[in-house]
Amino acid sequence: MAPPDADGVAADGEGDGVQDPAARFAAASGRARRGNLDAGAEKLAAQGKLFVRDRIALLCDPGTFVEDQLLANAPYRDDMSPDLPADGVVTGVGEIDGRPVAVMANDPTVKAGSWGARTVEKIVRLTETALRDEIPVVWLVDSAGARITDQVELFPGRRGAGRIFYNQVRLSGKVPQVCCLFGPSAAGGAYIPSFCDLVVMVEGNASMYLGSPRMAEMVIGEIVSLEEMGGARMHATVSGCGDNLAVDDEDAIHQARAYLTYLPSRWSEDPPEYHAVPPARPLTADIVPAEEAQGYDVHDVLDGLLDAESFFEIKPLFAPELVVGFGLLEGRPVGIVANNPMHKGGVLFTDSADKAARFIWLADAFGVPLIFLADVPGFMIGSQVEREGIIRHGAKMITAVCEATVPKVSVIVRKAYGAGLYAMSGPAFEPVATIALPTAKIAVMGPEAAVNAVFANKIAAIDDEAERAAFVEEQREIYETDVDLLRLASELVIDAVVEWEDLRSDIARRLQRAAGKDRTFSVRRHGVPPV
């Protein structure tokens, strides 16, 4: 018999209508791999998007991706539609930098990446593989949500869409989970990003929402654009549901790969180590103004502390008064929690407390030591933040600090006042060490606020302006003497006063020596944290 043609039918007419089995499966596989690109390529190009398999090729090391369930919904009868290749999702295991990762990738050319019954089953099986083998999961999301026509098959059952989220929660803290959001993540599907450790959104294309703008208009009468409702920039700046923005698909995938380099593949392993690189600049005292009310950018401190070009910031546009992210210190991954006086004086708000708590839990889950750089006036006060629940949000951050059993170093850069000291892992929270730079101050509150709190009536009673100013200055000096840094060192409140140029090596040595510390916190099922 002659070799089959493209449709798997014998080319010389022998056995007319009978397909060679190998050719039949080759044709079905080829059809599945093409998705609906023949019809959808122009739309992808107009949106600046990559085809799903090109995304996977960028994510995974060449030749390492092994796909599962490629032939989902393959038409095996003439009356079946050929328009659901792979049921709109690609799943399998590849490698990133030689380490295995499970990959789920929606194919937006197949009914806008929507979920059918086979889609859900494929994703459930992928999460089961990740749980069994304890390998990270990368979610490449571009989906319009569930197909209403398939809702009975995909929504309510034991292996319905809910099982995906159940497994994501089981995976949380066991393996890293990263989401690159290239397009929509609609309705229930929006919870896939929400359960991930990092969500990178492509600006201009990505969106997340439980109800579309059209639904919002119908149900609650609100007229709003998609960008306002759930666009990438809104989520990265206002809601905090998105962590980092990307300019395009390639950038998002690059960020996902970079992020994973700081973390182990699973919770039971140590983070990877790399060759040490000198910092980008010297760490000198002139980085930070002596006047505590004067702002500065804490990124300048990080440039002198961490290996050059190693800082991967998370949520840079959300609650920027606090900076969090991963970096390398002499080749070893560390987590950074740093007040940034350049924004709102570094005061802690509800959003910055949430941002910190989430990051601290993340670093602790994967054994990454934490460095706290404190320059904080405390938590914000006033009726607005009280109504927003600043107390419970602050308690959430402090809970995360308490529960973190990785080695922690608390550095008092310029000041740590009030509960800000607690939130930044002060002496009571079992840091490896509390280190102060020579100009640091630790107190219940700043001197101006303290003098006013104690002597408000007396100050008001002094009519002469010069006399009043002299009295305030005298009381200020008394207060500052009471909380003098040398006294705090003498009474063992702090462990060391370190010069700027010695800070990097001092922290590195302390963390190296603490690498084997006991990670036990308490025996219980789990705490009941404030939320």
DSSP H or E stretch at residue 305: helix 298-305
> Which tens digits make up the pLDDT trace of 452-483?
888 888 889 988 889 888 898 888 888 888 88
d(C-alpha 325, C-alpha 183), whole Å? 25
Residues 121-134, mean pLDDT to the nearest whole number: 98
d(C-alpha 126, C-alpha 124), whole Å? 5
Which residues fall within 8 angstroms of residue 486, CB to CB, at 6 or more apart? none
> Which tens digits make up the pLDDT trace of 164-216?
999 999 999 999 999 999 999 988 788 999 999 999 999 999 999 998 888 88
pLDDT over 70 (residue 110): yes
Q: What pTM did the predictor assign? A: 0.93
Is residue 436 within 8 Å of 489, Cβ to Cβ? yes
Q: How confident is the model at residue 16 (pLDDT cuts 50, 70, 90)?
A: low
pLDDT over 80 (residue 231): yes
- Residue scoring higher pLDDT (364 or 467): 364
Residues 117-144, mean pLDDT to the nearest whole number: 97
Tokens 């032939």 — which residue? 71
Alpha-carbon distances of 346 from 186, 374, 483, rounded to whole Å: 35, 9, 21
> Which tens digits make up the pLDDT trace of 482-530?
889 999 999 999 999 999 999 999 999 999 999 999 999 999 999 999 9
Residue 451 has a CB neighbour count (10 Å cut-off) of: 22
105: tokens are 């990738």
Q: What percent of the chain has pLDDT over 90?
A: 81
Query: What distance lies between CA 303 and its chain's CA centroid?
Result: 21
pLDDT over 50 (residue 8): no
Label residue 478 left, alpha or beta by phi (over 0 means left) and psi (-120 to 50 means alpha): alpha
Angle formed at CA 72 by CA 69 and CA 74, multiple of 5 degrees: 130
Q: Is the dihedral of CA 404, 353, 211, 232 positive or negative?
A: negative
d(C-alpha 108, C-alpha 511), whole Å? 46
What is the predicted pLDDT for the residue at 71? 95
> Which tens digits make up the pLDDT trace of 368-414?
999 999 999 999 999 999 999 999 999 999 999 999 999 999 999 99
What is the predicted pLDDT for the residue at 452? 84
What is the predicted pLDDT for the residue at 413? 97
What is the predicted pLDDT for the residue at 343? 97
59: tokens are 């994510």
- Residue scoring higher pLDDT (447 or 309): 309
What is the predicted pLDDT for the residue at 468? 87
Label residue 87 left, alpha or beta by phi (over 0 means left) and psi (-120 to 50 means alpha): left
Residues 356-370, mean pLDDT to the nearest whole number: 98
Residues 277-292, mean pLDDT to the nearest whole number: 95
Burial environment of residue 467 by CB neighbours within 10 A (0 to 12, 13 to 18, 19 or more): exposed
Is residue 528 within 8 Å of 450, Cβ to Cβ? no
Q: CA nearest 226: which of 217, 473, 354?
A: 217
pLDDT over 90 (residue 90): yes
What is the chain's mean pLDDT, rounded? 93
d(C-alpha 263, C-alpha 273), whole Å? 10
pLDDT over 80 (residue 32): yes
